[in-house]
Amino acid sequence: MHDQRPAPRATGRETSGDIWRGIPFHAYVTKEITSLDDLKGLRLRSSSIYNDFFESLGISRPIFRQRKPIQHSSVAWFRVWAGPHGGIGDLGWDEFIKTRIEPGYYNVAINIMMNDNSWANLTDEERKVIEDSVAWLEAELPAFVEDKNAENTAAQDAAGIVAFDAGPDFARQAEDIYWEEMMKIDAEGGPQSCAPSSKNNITNTPQQGDEK
């Protein structure tokens, strides 16, 4: 709830809750692989938030806009795509992707936020409506996300996308590099000022978006 998340308060906003937590990000490859070494030298189509992690794997990083259908003419320019677990078929990318790298890393998190002044101007009854709604949402969300993840996996299976298990160190490396970057951004506070919990529970992960 809003009073349990101190980080956004410093920005003049109240955080009432978050949705979609539990949907991981994955690396997808347009060919089958037998080891992470197969990724070295491949081009990445992704948001810039993944750059440091994938560079550590030897993947290069051209800049593309995300959320656009893949054109046949652009496939030759990249072999790895990074994004959330779902929506691949909506963009037509399941036609080109052959491998999903497991385990997932990071965590989709969309915050429900309200300006501090707007929150202060609400009556106690109005705040209770919001708090009760958020409590309901967060109670229902885990089962919904579990079903959605299973649905997305089934759709990828049906499209012939195979899973490659890179082992637990894959996700751990992604988290470690992510927090290194957060600590550079906020050198005084480190991870504690960027998230409401420890570095092993990433909830305020940057989201997909267009490149600059």
pLDDT score of 26: 92
Mean of the pLDDT values across residues 64-91?
67
Residue 130: CB atoms within 10 Å: 18
Percent of the chain with pLDDT over 70: 70
The kind and range of the H/E element at 14 are: strand 13-19
pLDDT above 70: residue 68: no
Reading phi first (left if > 0) and then psi (alpha if -120 to 50, else beta), residue 171 is in alpha
Q: Which of 40-49, 72-81, 143-152, 188-197 has the highest mean pLDDT?
A: 143-152
One of 3.40.190.170, 3.40.1280.10, 3.40.50.460, 3.40.250.10 is the CATH number of 2-193, namely 3.40.190.170
| N-to-C CA span, the chain | 33
**Domain parsing of the chain, residue ranges:** 2-193
Confidence of residue 173 (pLDDT cuts 50, 70, 90): very high
